[in-house]
């Protein structure tokens, strides 16, 4: 039910004591909003927002290479696992990145369609498929890495090198103590 309105609820011009017309006073303008108005939000909430902002910046930076942030992360992870002497598989990628297995499968299919990875029989796990970078995948990763590094330096560099190092150590502690899988 709507609240009852008074018949003369409109503001009208009125005569001042000097006989001049005056307009009603305007409400003061709302204070300008800060880019991040939730200074007292929880640490987890802030962490999610930092991660989302980082992801958006990385997505934009990777556009010239034609990769999304997730595609880049998977290509870089495949490369890293290969350099570490492992044979990457879809399950290993999901465990390593902590991304959803179904999402990993869909993104790997897209990367295979783009010709950036190949999937073949895994040498030691019968049900698994090995995932390898193609030459085109290595080239895309080589073009994307400087874009990622520059974006990371600009975004996280806002807090300065010393604070960035401290934040990195704190994140390492959280990652070492809280493996969910």
Per-residue model confidence as pLDDT tens for the chain (181 residues): 555 444 444 444 444 455 555 555 666 555 554 565 666 788 888 889 899 999 999 999 999 999 999 999 999 999 999 999 999 999 899 999 999 999 999 999 999 999 999 998 888 887 888 999 999 999 999 999 999 999 999 999 999 999 999 999 998 998 888 666 5
**H helical segments located in 10-160:** 43-62, 69-83, 90-97, 101-113, 135-156
Q: What class, spelled out in words, does domain 60-176 have in CATH?
A: mainly alpha
- d(CA 3, CA 103) in angstroms, rounded, equals 50
Do 100 and 94 touch, CB atoms closer than 8 A?
Answer: yes
DSSP structural state of residue 35: S
Confidence (pLDDT) at 14: 47
pTM: 0.74
Q: What are 10's two structure tokens?
A: 């409109």
Rama region for 43: left / alpha / beta (φ>0; ψ in -120 to 50; rest): alpha
């Amino acid at each position: 039910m709507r609240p009852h309105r008074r018949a003369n609820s409109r503001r009208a011009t009125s005569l001042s004591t000097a006989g001049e017309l005056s307009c009603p006073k305007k409400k003061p303008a709302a204070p300008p909003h800060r880019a991040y108005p939730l200074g007292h939000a929880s640490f987890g909430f802030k962490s999610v927002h930092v991660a989302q902002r980082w992801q958006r910046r990385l997505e934009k930076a990777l556009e010239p290479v034609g990769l999304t942030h997730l595609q880049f992360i998977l290509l870089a992870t495949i490369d890293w696992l290969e350099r570490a002497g492992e044979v990457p598989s879809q399950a290993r990628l999901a465990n390593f990145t902590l991304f959803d297995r179904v999402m990993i499968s869909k993104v790997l299919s897209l990367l295979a369609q783009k010709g950036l990875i190949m999937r073949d029989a895994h040498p030691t796990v019968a049900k698994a498929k090995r995932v390898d970078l193609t030459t085109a995948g290595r080239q895309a990763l080589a073009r994307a890495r400087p874009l990622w590094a520059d974006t990371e330096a600009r975004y996280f560099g806002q807090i300065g090198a010393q604070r960035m190092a401290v934040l990195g150590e704190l994140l390492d502690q959280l990652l070492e103590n809280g493996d969910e899988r």
